[in-house]
Structure 1
Amino acid sequence: MRGYRLYALVLGVLFAVFVAVEYYRPKPIDWKQTFSNKDKIPYGTFVLFELLPDLFPDQPVASVRLPVVNQIEEGNALAKNNSAPLVNYVFVNGATDVSKLDLQALLQFVARGNNVFLSSHTFSRPLQDTLGFKTDFTKKGLKQDSLGLVFTHPQLQQLKPVLYEREKASRIITIDSKRKAKVLGKNSVGDTTFVQISYGKGSFYLSSVPLAFTNYHVIDPAQTRYATQALSHLPVRPVWWDEYQKQGAVGSKSVFRVLLSHEPLAWAYYVTLGGLLLFVLFESKRTQRIIPIMEKPKNTTLEFVRVMGNLYYNHRNHRVIAEKKINYFLEYLRLHYFENTNVVNEELEERIFAKSGVALADVTELFRLIQHVNMVDRLEEQHLWNLNKQLESFYRQASR
């Protein structure tokens, strides 16, 4: 019992050390582009979301986890009670997926005087067709490793361009010639990256460089001002920060959301967990270990010999058997008489004769048979029989 406790203690200590090492060792950097405000990885937006209260002072900032239609309907319900001010609806995504139903709600939302800020690599087709724009990769400055981003506002265009790696700032926005839009930002080769499209009393703000709003670039002193200056084009209003397109609805990823949403199912779940816990506690008590039945060891030597004999008999490769017997015989000479068997000649035969006490004629005949085996490619059964007979005779005479 003491030995068992000692082993359990050692295993417990080793497990605790393993957990501590795994917990405190540096975790590899996750370069996934999530654009989520809960992620502190390089391409999350945790830092920018924390800065929003400073960019929009004295205004509430809410993280939205509802579909566009549902979120706007809630805002409309408040607006009917004259308790909802105009807001800025902010989207920062790798790909902005706006369905026709969502787009219709957004258009009505903006027409009433609200603003929608969309920064994304790609935009859904209904949104592009309705607002009259499309995105593409710039064809200019192909040999440049980096591209600068600038604003067209008179107070901002005097500042130096904010440089980004080319692949992060190569997306551009092209406006339909029939659509009136205000260009707010360009890259260093003259392509548009940031525009304002008026719709009713409000506006859509479109940006093609969403990575500029992620943690990696916002915390960089040389690049942080681009994100803040881009959002400064929005009026100071309450902010809705969309997380539905990145995290989904609240609880949508929980495997127990159905169970916990109904009280009877939730109680059944808790009772089941409690029962399992009690079962583990009571079954963990010491019980008599089952004594295994020890079977008497069997001598399988004869079975092995029979199997190997049948194997060689079926193949009838007499030369392989002869080689094994010869190798065993040479090993016997090395171990018992300390002779070098690399060269088999008359001198070796005489030394074996002197040390073993076997008749010289028998030793000579044995080495002749060995030489014959080494010279032929295929050995007849009679030669194998003679070799085996001569070897057995040698072992009997040498052991006297």
Structure 2
Amino acid sequence: MSKKGKIYITLVLLTLFAIVAVEMTKPEPINWFPSYALHHKIPFGSYVFNEQLERVSNDVTTVERPPFEYLSNNTISGTYLFYNGGIAFGKEELNGLLDWVSEGNTLMVSAVDFEKKLLDTLNLKTRTINITNNFNNKYQVKLVNPLLDNTTIYKYERPTTFFHFHEIDTVKTSILGFIDKYRGEQENSKTTLVNAIKQSFGDGEIILNTFPQAFTNYFMLNSPNQDYTAGLMSYINTNKPIYVDTYYKTGKKFYTSPMYLFLSTKSLKWAYYIMLIGVLIYIIFEGKRKQRAIPIIRPLKNQTVDFTRTIANMYYENGKHKDIAQHKIQHFLEFIRNSMYLNTSEINNSFIKNLAARSNNSIEDTQTLFKLIESFNKKSKIENKELERLNTLIEQFKTHN
């Protein structure tokens, strides 16, 4: 390898190691994935909520199975808590939950929006909040119960889509909280958009909230926002069992990918990347060093025609016209047998008529050709012109086929 090539390789390697060093020392970016998982400590995980819930209640059960399956196989009572960015139960599962609530239990669901059947059952309608004049995505929530300090406003400043209840059954529904665009410290803020309600259902009750971010680490660790979450939870009886759903969660509890260990650990991840880069460099330079030109192997030519022409010229130059004629006649008869499917062992009038019909030649031309062939068979010597005439008649015969 030349000196210039070694310099280029050294510069490339130094550049790669510099990039790796910068990436390894760069602060880990914040993971804003909306997980809502109980074990996640990322901003939108629920690790803090899970810890606080276990402090206020001694009977908390995490349910990892679908609620339809869990309720079918277990006799339980208390509060079933769901919160996630999106939750869709399905017809049969929702009916099972509603039957369970009507027996005197509590269903609490916090999601961005709700399925149509649940809203229709409770005579509710939702609508997205208009983001006009709120391009900074700043919102504020509050509770209405005077026992929960309804004067405090809790702020949320992350881009998202919010829904509110714009039609409710005022006879059966109690309003628990509002949500509104954040207008600033010195402006009037009339929180008129309902985002949390409670409604009786049979002997139990259903609590709905369109602000699931209230259960995330990001919201609860910004004081005094934890009071808002505590206020929502105050509507359920913590002395009874609480069942927290983990089935309808965006974040996974178990990672099935075999590369998760490598990619989740910073040092192992970069060791893996360096190995891939090294393999790539090895393939490029080692393959270039060992590669050689592949010779072009031309296919063998078919020499049959050339060989036949050579033999024919030898016969012709030696004046063996009789032999050439015999070969020509034999090839012609073979042509008739293979193409016309006629027996050439006996040449008679019936054979001439069938051959003329199958080859699109006239009977006269066919008879002329075979009379010439018959005359050749009787002669011991053939002249040059006679051989040419035989060839001409045979070629004309074949052109009509």
Aligned residue runs from structure 1 range 164-175, under 5 A: 164-165=156-157, 167-168=159-160, 170-175=162-167
* Residues 113-151 of structure 1: CA deviation (Å, up to 9, x unaligned): 111111101212222222222322234884585333221
Structure 2 residue identity aligned to 1:72: L
1:240-251 alignment runs, 5 A limit: 240-246=243-249
Does the Cα contact within 8 Å between 1:117 and 1:204 map onto a contact in 2? yes
Where does the alignment leave 5 or more consecutive residues of structure 1 unmatched?
A: 1-18, 77-83, 257-292, 296-400
Aligned to 1:74: 73
What is the match of residue 108 of structure 1?
99
* Structure-2 separation of matches of 1:45 and 1:210: 10
The structural deviation recorded for 1:26 is: 4.2
TM-score between the two structures when normalised by the length of structure 2: 0.51
Counterpart check, 1:88 vs 2:79: yes
Q: 1:24 to 1:228 in 2, by over 3 A?
A: farther
Contact 1:98/1:126 (<8 A) preserved: no
2:97 and 2:28 mapped to 1: Cα distance? 41
**Structure ID, larger Rg:** 2
C-alpha displacement at 1:39, in angstroms?
1.2
Query: CA 1:158–1:249 in structure 2 vs 1: closer, same or farther (change >3 Å)?
Result: closer
Q: Which amino acid aligns with 1:217?
A: F
CA–CA separation in structure 2 for the residues paired with 1:22 and 1:165: 29
Match of 1:232 in 2: 234
Q: For residues 250 and 53 of structure 1, what CA distance do their matches in structure 2 show?
A: 19
Q: Following the alignment from structure 1 to structure 2, what is the Cα–Cα distance between the partners of residues 199 and 154?
A: 24
Please say if residues 175 and 181 of structure 1, whose CA atoms lie closer than 8 Å, have aligned partners that are also in contact.
no
2:79–2:108 contact (8 Å) kept in structure 1: yes
Provide Cα deviations, 1:140-190, integer angstroms capped at 9, x if missing partner.
Answer: 884585333221212124432112237558421234447621101113431
Q: Distance in 2 between matches of 1:152 and 1:162?
A: 12
**Alignment identity in percent?**
27
The residue number in structure 1 matching 2:151 is 159
Distance 1:249 1:200, change over 3 A: farther
Structure 2 CA distance for aligned equivalents of residues 143 and 212 of structure 1: 20
Alignment size in residue pairs: 235
The alignment yields a C-alpha RMSD, in angstroms, of 3.6
Structure 2 residues not aligned, in runs of 5+: 1-19, 180-189, 259-289, 293-401
TM-superposed deviation, 1:74: 2.8
1:226 Cα deviation from its structure 2 partner: 0.9
Q: 2:176 maps to what in 1? A: 184
Q: Match for residue 40 of structure 2?
A: 39
Distance 2:131 2:146 in 1: 25
The reply to whether residue 118 of structure 1 matches residue 117 of structure 2 is no
| CA shift in 2, pair 1:139/1:27, >3 Å | closer
2:210 partner letter: S
The structure-2 alpha-carbon separation of the partners of 1:140 and 1:248, relative to structure 1 and needing over 3 Å to count, comes to closer
Equivalent position of 1:135 in the other structure: 126
Tell me the alpha carbon deviations over residues 245-295 of structure 1, each in whole angstroms, 9 at most, x when there is no partner: 1269987x7489xxxxxxxxxxxxxxxxxxxxxxxxxxxxxxxxxxxx9x9
Relative to the length of structure 1, the TM-score reads 0.51
Offset from partner CA, 1:286-316 (integer Å, 9 cap, x none): xxxxxxx9x9xxxxxxxxxxxxxxxxxxxxx
Deviation at 1:23, TM superposition (A): 8.7
SS in 2 for 1:128: helix
Query: 2:174 corresponds to which letter in structure 1?
Result: K
Contact 1:97 1:124 in 2 (8 A): yes
